[in-house]
Chain A
Amino acid sequence: MAIQFTDSSVRFGQKTALHPLSLTLAERRIGIIGLNGSGKTTFARLINGLVKPTEGRVTVNGLDTVADDRAVLGEAGFIFQNPQHQLIMPIVREDIAFGLKNRGLTNAEIAAKTNAVLARFSVSHLAGRRVHELSGGETQLVAIASVVVTGPKILILDEPTNQLDLKNRRLVAATIDGLEQQVLVISHDLGLVDGFERVLLFHEGQLIADGQADDTIRRYHEVAGC
């Protein structure tokens, strides 16, 4: 069971956002780093099928992101770079419940799951709050809860500690640490991915380093020139 890229590449019009790459991701904790515009988000979106490969293919636990796109969405949850964009209902509790709709659950089951996931991430006190008024840290935790509640086996977080203060960074890092899923984290916060089993470095749409966290981070400093 793993994420598999086979000669996968992505072009937007003339622009190559991701050059062809082949690799298998099976580690529990994977970091993705690189400069702005280097292709990190594009790479991550390939995994749950939000972006389709222009060439090649991507499979997730044996499911093809093109042919089995709906199943793949259930398999891999995605927390967006700006998590406010993925909270689509006005009230926190309703937003968590939103992800559970159209799944044949009764309202009581939806309410029970919603309460359980809010409690798990210590945000029960936010249940009745308006999404629009959440702080950055609260938004991030609610977004994680809203995705985890649907039971994906893989979680992809796009810059989860971006714009958070020191305290919330620690909190989100600890929350990520506690997730039982396979987790991929895109981050400019190198401390966050430092302890991960495997870290990938993208540069101008190419995967240029892949391995131990400290080796990849050293390489990142080289290409960034600082």
Chain B
Amino acid sequence: MTMVPQMPKSWRLETKPHKFCPGCGHGLVLKALGEAIDELGIQDKVVFGADIGCSLLAWDFFNVDTVQTHHGRTTPVVTGVKRANPDVICIAYMGDGGGYAIGSQHLVNAAARNERITAILVNNCNYAMTGGQMAPTTLPGMKTETTPYGRDIKETGYPTQGPEMVAAITREGSYIARGTIANLKQLKSFLKKALENQMAGNGFSFVEALSTCPTNWRTNAKDTWAFVEKEMTKYFKVGELKNPAAKEGE
């Protein structure tokens, strides 16, 4: 073990340490993503789109072409880029509010059109940047600023299951998985496959990453990890839902 943090080559060193709160999962997702970009050797071809949400703190995170868009609109912005220049590798990076609430129409329609982009969605069970309101992914009974008495599923329904939804509306060629920051090696392999799927021109690629938000969860390190590993996985099953490459490969 070494104390020197290993930073992916694609990270922008001048902007480190990054701006996420201590214990935040965003940094880990972006670490896995950075390593995937490095291993695929695609740094010069990537266009990284960052949504509004804590994702926006990544607007200067990588040494790759980056555009920070509007809340929920990253999917259509990078779709526009990809349609105009199919040679670049487009990533849409967003939160669960950005992807499943305000931007859900874009997620659904990009998936239905089988856009050759890679969407990465960070599930932290709340609207973090705005101070911890209910998100589509907030767990039943979970207290947030707009569910001060706990999320009542009779009033607000069950948490959105994003990858399952996207899997239901996509046809052949799409890659869909749910990873977690509790298993970074696996998350990295999912992200890598999602990028490779785009590079192969197969179709829409989507990875949800279970993540942490100790600031709004108001949890210490131990409870934060317990929440991701035990509570979130009760509703959000980790694994691959669709993998076009698996048919021949495995």
Decide whether A and B assemble into one complex: no
